[in-house]
Structure 1
């Protein structure tokens, strides 16, 4: 082999290594990187694996060598395939690009000049993207066409969801139009942008047949217009019974047939076209003034808030956190309502059936996520800063909401609500009290017949009839010994033929506060303690009578105590 041959081989070998080494050095020198806001994983129709953009890398294309505006010169990992990629950011969640084929290395300008105007446009949608507000809201009816004629009747509808980034599309089947079907789709809006005179929307469509991103991602082009500028018969046909109104606002919408935006140039052409008409708005009723006087209410443990909006026609029920808990006010364990704690509930007053100065009985329209319907609600005013609410079952028909099958006021639980800073009042009882005869059964109903409500605090604990509570105060300490003797006799009789284990078993199974304790010795000590506390309490002359707090406590499983917070001046 001659030196000439060796030089030729070295030259050839050097040429094969130059692209990779030069590309790496050039990328490092120029610092070519994709915008940091593009970092993440992206979905592209027809590409099986997610596309990753990070720093200077575009996973399916290679590494960036140079850039100018929206033009990027990329080289693959082998260093032999160069291409120009022109990337347009339509939205933070949508990128569209055109590209050249694999070519030999050339300048950025030379390669990018090879992209023609009719080159194929690719769309990439960000995975796990944050939602955006949808351009049109619920409260619309629409007709649609899938290429076999327009489905005009029965008319389809769009309902709002709790989040303004979601819509519920209810398609109706037209018996005389092929390809129509009765189905429900949930649209999650991910991006909107304007291009020329057209407006675009990208979203994920959730329905029973959507099992992959290819089935879910869809592109829409839409146009907003006034219904008065277009004759109704051109929009809906001669047979449609729609009357134009002064406030009528309509949209024309075209939807892509796959997970791309290809071929969408006009809202009149697409895999499915729709014409939206604003639905007739029924007059909303208003919640009573005594209910909306305080715009925000809380459950007793402040885990949920009830907030009135929009001229007292709408109520939002949402979950709260400890960080949002008001700094003042009682925190007491309370059974939560049946609403999903993770989702906000929007309640709109639909019809007032009965209303008085301290009670409201009405039909409401609810929305939880993208599910909606009607339910019956009854509000009770207990004080200026305390109300209670009963909520019935969900139904699609407003006439069924307050029927016995969905609402029974005698069996539905109460949810107690208070204002953010409840007004403090003087406690109704003076002293410390020992309570007997109280059932441990959780309260779940309350009588609605005021004549049948017993004048006893027992009604707060159980709907079942019990004997009145025995209040032991400083004025009737003599009864303490009688109660002790009675309880001692009863306990001796029950435990006469039982060993220690049986006594413990029976006492653990008991459900009545009349049982004093595990043993007579414990009971005797408790009784002495109560007598001693009552005596010392009655002898305290300096205690103020203007109590602000009623303390309720359980010293043991069989003793419930109520006492006012008393401090010497």
Structure 2
């Protein structure tokens, strides 16, 4: 059998996550408990095998090995063979990396029989491999699917158009790609798979997702909220190795689904972290009606560290839905470059917020910083924040 290691890889015949136990030829060692784990890598041609050490095998150690699938074929007798390489720092020579596998279906997974050397010699349906892996579905399983308002349309972009999010309409999968607006090039960065729905309302869904980057797999708590027909907001917690800890308060620093009151508390010797907020705009959005906010004159503006009244960002008047219902106009009246820019509204919403401020007539001692001040010196003010997303538009 000839192997071209520098040739293209092939899609593996099974996908993670899977639990597995393993035994050596003749039952002379192995590990049935605790279960080891197979996780999916970013590329469909790679899988991460995480071996657990156990008392059954004195020489067993915890280690991670990456399987790269090179070829899959089915014989005339219906047997499925897999040729793959193992990548680990202790496997240096090709003879140690290349292995052949015989794949058998079971009622709840697969049996994977591994050859002793870099060939398929000795593997048959009646034999045992030098190592036999029993791959099964993980102990936890729940049907997880995204709502249709999230998967139709399936493509979204971040506001800066640097990242593309593709939602699969047939599976709870998100592919996140680096994207170039200029040449339309893209590169796959990570995959996210929904593994459990924690809470769901008509306009939002809170899930535990598994993020795969290269061959690293981590869990996080995520809330998807429909802000408008064109806008979806993602709220992400911290990543963790433990699935059950993803939505714990230590990793997800928010309140219940549907509440967006984020509070930073420093006066009581504590600091509450914010989750990561990502705003997505669907591909080819259709303009919508702007809020009826009327005409406004600006008296001051501070953008990009500059407050010059005629810098490149300055404008003097702002008109919402005055000429057209879906239009915002920015008017600039500087002598050097007077102009009016028009933008199309593609989404608007409001949400509650809480501002923490110092009480009036209260002066903190000079030696006390904000982080060490007394909480009774501060008060909370409930606000309603408004957001508008618009893009440059042309009118005939």
TM-score range, shorter chain: 0.5 to 0.7
Q: Distance in 1 between matches of 2:126 and 2:237?
A: 43
1:414 equivalenced with 2:277 (yes/no): yes
1:253 Cα deviation after fit: 1.3
* Paired residues for 1:475-494 under 5 Å: none
Greater Rg, structure 1 or structure 2?
Answer: 1
1:255 equivalenced with 2:115 (yes/no): yes
Report how many aligned residue pairs link the two structures.
321
8 Å Cα contact 1:142-1:277 kept in structure 2 = yes
1:135 equivalenced with 2:13 (yes/no): yes
1:546 equivalenced with 2:324 (yes/no): yes
Q: Distance in 2 between matches of 1:261 and 1:250?
A: 18
Which residue of the partner structure matches residue 82 of structure 2? 201
Change (3 A) 1:303 1:512: closer
Change (3 A) 1:567 1:435: farther
Which residue of the partner structure matches residue 65 of structure 1? none
Secondary structure at the counterpart of residue 238 of structure 2? coil
1:349 Cα deviation after fit: 4.3
8 Å Cα contact 2:152-2:169 kept in structure 1 = no
8 Å Cα contact 1:304-1:318 kept in structure 2 = yes
Q: Deviations over 1:407-448 (max 9, x none)?
A: 3344234211111121213445666854624353xxxxxxxx
Change (3 A) 1:267 1:383: farther
* Paired residues for 1:363-374 under 5 Å: 363-374=208-219
1:383 equivalenced with 2:228 (yes/no): yes
1:175 Cα deviation after fit: 0.8
Unaligned stretches of 5+ in structure 1? 1-95, 97-123, 228-247, 327-339, 441-510, 518-522, 539-543
Which residue of the partner structure matches residue 564 of structure 1? 342
Which residue of the partner structure matches residue 42 of structure 2? 162
Higher helix share: 1
8 Å Cα contact 1:315-1:346 kept in structure 2 = yes
1:379 Cα deviation after fit: 2.4
8 Å Cα contact 1:292-1:312 kept in structure 2 = no
Change (3 A) 1:221 1:363: closer
1:362 Cα deviation after fit: 2.9
Q: Distance in 2 between matches of 1:345 and 1:553?
A: 43
Q: Distance in 2 between matches of 1:293 and 1:561?
A: 38
Higher strand share: 2
Change (3 A) 1:170 1:437: same
Which TM-score applies when normalising by structure 1?
0.48
Which residue of the partner structure matches residue 130 of structure 2? 271
> Given the alignment, which residue of 423, 426, 438 partners 2:302?
438
* Paired residues for 1:53-64 under 5 Å: none
Unaligned stretches of 5+ in structure 2? 255-261, 263-273, 344-392
Which TM-score applies when normalising by structure 2?
0.67
1:188 Cα deviation after fit: 0.6
Q: Deviations over 1:439-485 (max 9, x none)?
A: 53xxxxxxxxxxxxxxxxxxxxxxxxxxxxxxxxxxxxxxxxxxxxx
Q: Distance in 2 between matches of 1:405 and 1:192?
A: 44
8 Å Cα contact 1:388-1:415 kept in structure 2 = yes
Secondary structure at the counterpart of residue 244 of structure 2? helix
